[in-house]
Structure 1
Amino acid sequence: MAKTMRPYSRYGREATVLLGQLIRLARISRKLTHEELAERAGVSRGLVHRIEKGDPGCAIGAVFEVAAIVGVRLFDADQSTLATGIAANTAMLTLLPRAIRTSDKPVKDDF
Structure 2
Amino acid sequence: MSKETSFAAARLERDVPAAEGRVDDALIAVSSLMTSVVTARRDTIGVPATSGHATIRRLAKAQMALVDVSGDILRVHGDLVQIGRETAGYDLHECPAIAGAVSEPLPAAA
Q: TM-score, normalised by structure 1?
A: 0.29
Structure having greater relative contact order (Cα 8 Å, sep ≥ 6): 2
